[in-house]
Structure 1
Amino acid sequence: MINSVIIDDEPLAAGILQDYIEKVPFLNLKATFTNALEAIQYIEQEDVDLLFLDIRMPDITGVDLLKNLKKRPAAIFTTAYQEYAIEGYSLNVVDYLLKPIPFTRFVSAATKAYDYINMVKSSRSGGYAAQQEFIFIKTEYKIVKVDLSDILYIEGLKDYSKIYLKDNSKPIFTLQNLKSFESKLPQDRFIRIHRSYIVSINKINVICKNRVMIAQTDIPVSIGFKNNLQEIIFRNS
């Protein structure tokens, strides 16, 4: 869970961000401030991972606030003024959102922050103590948390992917491609056997020459990925 704080002197803009954060499962809103100076002490004392930070505010700019923090969380700048983008990126800000902010653009920035924050935490601790047991999947209107143990296989189609789940649950549709799943899913639990399929190793019931069977579904194995499957067979024989 990413602990977040909103700092924006416009109550309406802050309210929109609050609504967006409530829709994203991995974001936890800890506090909202319309006064930037009041936010500084809170950030220094509390466990804050991410700031949604307006740039042009009355007492101090978001840029100066970020520069003066002793304990600097990751930040996403939110502003109506595009000219501040370059200075924001020079501070290693995760992303820059131009108001009015579409929800899809917000989700993209939040996901980028999630990946960045987890990467930093992992590097500080020397790696995760335990393997993550779930992933977040972006669908058209929301982000869905999916347990890895529930995934049977993933099918890549022309413009989207379908995630098939156990217990006859409806497939989840997402614009994420197979390459992105291949990089995120643990290699000891998932394997790509075709340019259009990634499968859960534990869910394979039958292995034949050019196909595998998972939950009564035949899935093809292409020549280019056959070595991957043979390696799994050898490792588990």
Structure 2
Amino acid sequence: MNFITDDTTIMTAIAIDDEPIALEIIQSHASKVPFIDLKQVFTDAFLATTYLQQNKADLIFLDIKMPDISGIEFLKSLTNAPMVIFTTAYTEHAVQSFELDAVDYLLKPFSLSRFLKACNKAQELFDLRNQRQETSLGYIFVKDGYEQIRVELSDIQYVEASGNYTQIQTDSKLISSRITINDLAELLPKSDFIRCHRAFIVPKKKISKFDRNQIWISEKIIPIGATYQNLQLI
């Protein structure tokens, strides 16, 4: 089970499903996830549309097979759509749901642990989107276990993808986070950081020397990937 901390962001959510029992399960599961505030549930997707026109929601738990409009059609009808976790008894729409940038695809009946995993993914994406505004202040927060660690951009020596983790080496410590290096590359300001390899990002100001194949950050040697050799490093 995840724990809530002072740095945990609460996400507002709604759920849409034509089956009341399915909504009861989502309500029960959501009540056990401390960073989910489930505001409303709807058996009628059109009532949910009216609600969203008047209220903000960060996340929708959305059934796909509904009588009047499918969950996929409903999502396509929204402008500035919130994040979506699809909840369905059918597998055939999984690929299409991810093409619509769904956070996750829960196959009914789903357990509390599987529900929590989807919520954790939504929270990480939500935090990442919010943090893009913080880089102008010179820092970011990254998740390390159950904690959100503040990282000063000026302290970063290099970033390295390592298995399911991304390691951020700072001047004083090594931080391991579940954030992907692709997401971190989007988060870090491109004027100050450069991706030189599929597994490495470096701060331009800390490059001490470089050649065609590698970069030196102090005594650390960072490889330059074949597809990155034409980058402007300085």
TM range (shorter): 0.5 to 0.7
Aligned counterpart, 2:71 = 63
**Residues 1:73 and 2:77 are matched in the alignment:** no
8 Å CA contact 1:97, 1:106 repeated in 2: no
Q: 1:13 to 1:78 in 2, by over 3 A?
A: same
Superposed displacement of residue 172, structure 1: 1.9
Alignment deviations for residues 13-42 of structure 1 (CA, whole Å, 9 cap, x no partner): 2232354471xxxxx746132554764442
Structure 1: stretches of 5+ with no match in the other structure: 23-27, 119-127, 233-237
Aligned to 1:188: 191
Q: How does 1:140-179 map to 2 (within 5 A)?
A: 144=148, 146-147=150-151, 149=153, 151-158=156-163, 160-166=165-171, 168-169=172-173, 171-174=175-178, 176=180, 178-179=181-182
Matches within 5 A, 1:113-124: none
1:220 CA displacement: 0.8
Deviation at 1:110, TM superposition (A): 5.8
Across the aligned residues of Structure 1 and Structure 2, the Cα RMSD in angstroms comes to 4.9
Per the TM alignment, residue 44 of structure 1 is displaced from its structure 2 partner at its CA by 2.1
Q: Would you say the 8 A contact 2:30–2:37 is kept in 1?
A: no
Segments of structure 2 that go 5 or more residues without pairing to the other structure are 1-8
**C-alpha spacing 1:42/1:222, structure 2 compared with 1 (3 Å):** closer
SS in structure 1 at match of 2:159 = strand
Q: Deviations over 1:167-222 (max 9, x none)?
A: x355224373x4554454322111345665422335x2x72566222xxxx21144
Percent identical among aligned pairs is: 21
More helix by share: 1
Q: Tell me if structure 1 keeps the 8 A contact 2:94–2:105.
A: no
Which of the residues 82, 85, 102 maps onto 2:90? 82
Tell me how many residue pairs correspond in the alignment: 206
Cα gap change, 1:19/1:188 in structure 2, threshold over 3 Å: closer, same or farther?
farther
Alpha-carbon contact 1:152-1:165 (below 8 Å) kept: yes
The 1-side partners of 2:28 and 2:137 are apart by 32
- Aligned residue type for 1:17: A
What's the secondary structure of 1:42's corresponding residue? Answer: helix
Deviations 1:36-79 (A, max 9, x none): 4764442221133532224567x977639937977673452543
Alignment match, 1:201? 204
SS in 2 for 1:187: coil
In structure 1, C-alpha distance between the alignment counterparts of 2:94 and 2:223, rounded to whole Å? 46
